[in-house]
Amino acid sequence: MSFIEVTDLCKDYRIAKQEKGIAGAVKSLFHREYTVKEAVRNVSFSLEKGEVVGYIGPNGAGKSTTIKMLSGVLLPTSGVAKVGDIIPYENRKENAKRIGVVFGQRSQLYWDLPISDTFDLYESLYSVPKERFRKNCDFYTELLDMKDFLHQPVRQLSLGQKMKANIAIALLHDPEVLYLDEPTIGLDVTSKKVLRDALKSINAQRNTTIILTTHDMDDIEAVCQRLIMIDQGQKLFDGTLEDFRSKYNDGFTVKLEFDTVPPPWQESGEYELLEGDERHWLIKSRTEMTAKAAMIDLIGKYDPTNLYVQEERIEDIVRRAYALDEVGC
């Protein structure tokens, strides 16, 4: 019996069709058609205590919906989710005590009050012992560098500052599980690094189970040992980061920039021209060639002014992974 057990989880949304224009709006007053969107389809996985899992997929894949069911906010249409013997959506309050959640695009803070007030509220909401609460407060204020804005009203804080506060709040009661839904949105590079290090050390020290959704592959690489990928509500991949790389991530892209009109593109088996206009080319390597070899080769062939090597974005990987699986079956 694993710590988190998800079996055949499904969630459907009913969406009212809206026709265009005023005539359509009037029509929908009398008769409305619905379409059913399957946000999550038969997703199953299990996690052990202390695992750190990256949950990835393109926009609208069903990541947040899964997390909302795991945190007890949404009821699944069918299937079961269990977090440490509790069914979250049946025991919302029980479950809430043991988890910490950050939704990257939402805030749990009191808009008109300083962060410290929200901290107070959470202290009593979770009945955290005073001493431990103080310690955690100091610890996270220090860790996330929040001292300067702890006493400013939240409405006057920047996006990144609010994000830090939300992360701290999710952690103040030492949750057993941490759900992070795009926690690095709006953070600068330094803060991202701070957050990743913090997550790693929390996981190491407290054996906190972490599920992290993100669009930033660097987040995953920095903290996750395991990766689950979904698209259109279905699980496509579940395994270690290395497996994922060897299965899907078979290359990198190179961006070339030209000051003058570039020489004509030579079609070859080694590269694929993804996008190209007069000044920019986006090239993907097809072979097992190293980045270094590709750079030297491309500079020799086309003499660009600038050259950047980029890792593939998750969106691209997922798109290709999806195409692969379609072909595969």
Are the C-beta atoms of 246 and 281 separated by less than 8 Å?
no
Only one of the segments 70-78, 138-146, 157-165, 204-212 lies at the binding site for other proteins (rule: CB under 8 A); that segment is 70-78
Residues in 109-148 at the binding interface with other proteins, rule: CB under 8 A: 110-113, 117-118, 120-121, 124-127
Q: Which two tokens stand for residue 138?
A: 């100091």
Nearer to other proteins, 4 or 74 (CB): 74
Q: Which of 54, 58, 72, 304 binds other proteins (CB under 8 A)?
A: 72
Please give the residues from 76 up to 95 whose contact with other proteins meets the rule CB under 8 A.
89, 92-94
Q: Identify which range of 24-32, 65-73, 218-226, 304-312 contacts other proteins by CB under 8 A.
A: 65-73
Min. distance of Cβ 76 from other proteins in angstroms? Answer: 10
Nearest-approach distance from CB 129 to other proteins, in angstroms: 13
Nearest distance from C-beta of residue 33 to other proteins, angstroms:
17
3-state secondary structure of 163: helix
Q: Between 54 and 175, name the residue whose CB sits nearer to other proteins.
A: 175
3-state secondary structure of 168: helix
Residue with Cβ nearer other proteins (184 or 253):
184
Can you tell me the distance from the alpha carbon of 273 to that of 242, in angstroms, rounded to the nearest whole number? 27
Q: How far apart are CA 88 and CA 95, in angstroms?
A: 5
Instruction: Please state the closest distance from residue 5 (CB atom) to other proteins, in A.
Output: 21
Least distance in Å: CB of 212 to other proteins? 16
When the beta carbons of 32 and 286 are compared against other proteins, the nearer one is 32
75 is an interface residue for other proteins by CB under 8 A:
yes
Q: Cβ distance 283 to 274 under 8 Å?
A: yes
- b/e 243-276 (16+ beta carbons within 10 angstroms → b): ebeeebbebbbbbbebeeebeeeeeeeebeeeee
Q: Minimum distance from CB of 112 to other proteins (Å)?
A: 4
**Measured from the CB of residue 219, what is the shortest distance to other proteins in angstroms?**
17
CA distance 288 to 285: 8
Which one of 44, 108, 225, 249 is in contact with other proteins (CB under 8 A)?
Answer: 108
DSSP calls for 85-133: TB-TTTSHHHHHHHEEEEETT---S-TTSBHHHHHHHHHHHTT--HHHH
Nearer to other proteins by Cβ, of 126 and 322: the residue is 126
Distances (CA, A) of 106 to 44, 102, 182, 209, 224: 27, 8, 10, 22, 23
Among 68, 196, 215, 284, binds other proteins (CB under 8 A): 68
Match 């996981």 to its residue by tokens.
Answer: 203
Nearest to 166 by CA among 106, 114, 211, 206: 106
Q: What are phi and psi of 13, to 5 degrees?
A: -115, 145
Q: What is d(CA 140, CA 147) in angstroms, rounded to the nearest whole number?
A: 10
The residues in 141-200 that bind other proteins, with binding defined as CB under 8 A, are: 153
Size of site (CB under 8 A) for other proteins: 34
State which of positions 5-44 bind other proteins (CB under 8 A).
13
Write out the residues near other proteins by the rule CB under 8 A: 13, 64, 68, 71-75, 89, 92-94, 96-97, 99, 101, 103, 105-108, 110-113, 117-118, 120-121, 124-127, 153
